[in-house]
Amino acid sequence: MDIFDRKILQVLQSDARASLQEIGQAVGLSPSPCWGRIKKMEEAGVIEGYTVRLNAQALGLGDTVMVQVTLDSHSDNTLEKFGETLAAIPEVIEAWLVSGEYDYLLRIAVHDTKDYERLLRERLYKIKGIRHSKSSFVLRTLKKADLPLLPS
């Protein structure tokens, strides 16, 4: 990846709907080479897809909860089943297997505390193999950024 690829990615991160004309103007290339570079980055897996950023508040999902989870077992089967179960819970918007005091960190979007209580009772507490969980409500987002496009 060169400077032009990074500039193209910056434009796309800020507006994935930008036209090839707009991208070309922003990076100093004509639309055709921009298209070729974008296609190469898609094929290489640098660009995974295109999406729209939604406002959680506007959708009524005013609370974000970070949940630390520790499992009873770390067998491949347990980890696989836990991942499959999380994938089926729409409120779990991100899940990471982590090192340290707990096994997983989950980011969950809910309407409010009552909605989170419902999710705990109906879904999370029913997952077999959870030894311990600890929840923290996000009070305020201090930073939310796109991936940095640093020189390699």
Residue 30 tokens read as 């004509």
pLDDT in tens, 63-86: 999 999 999 998 999 999 999 999
pLDDT in tens, 101-114: 999 999 999 999 99
Q: Report residue 151's pLDDT band, with 50, 70 and 90 as the boundaries.
A: confident
Q: What is the 3-state secondary structure (H, E, C) of 55-70?
A: CCCCCCCCEEEEEEEE
Half-sphere exposure (CA, 13 Å, Cβ side) for 15? 8
CB 61 within 8 A of CB 28: no
List of residues 6+ apart from 11 with CB closer than 8 A: 18, 22, 23, 26, 27
Mean pLDDT of the chain: 95
Quote the pLDDT of residue 152: 73
81: left (phi over 0), alpha (psi -120 to 50) or beta: alpha
* Residue at 16: amino acid letter: A
Quote the pLDDT of residue 41: 97
Q: Which of 114, 66, 122 is CA-nearest to residue 89?
A: 122
pLDDT in tens, 27-64: 999 999 999 999 999 999 999 999 998 999 999 999 99
List of residues 6+ apart from 63 with CB closer than 8 A: 109, 110, 111, 112, 113, 115, 116, 137, 138
pTM: predicted TM-score of the whole model, two decimal places: 0.85
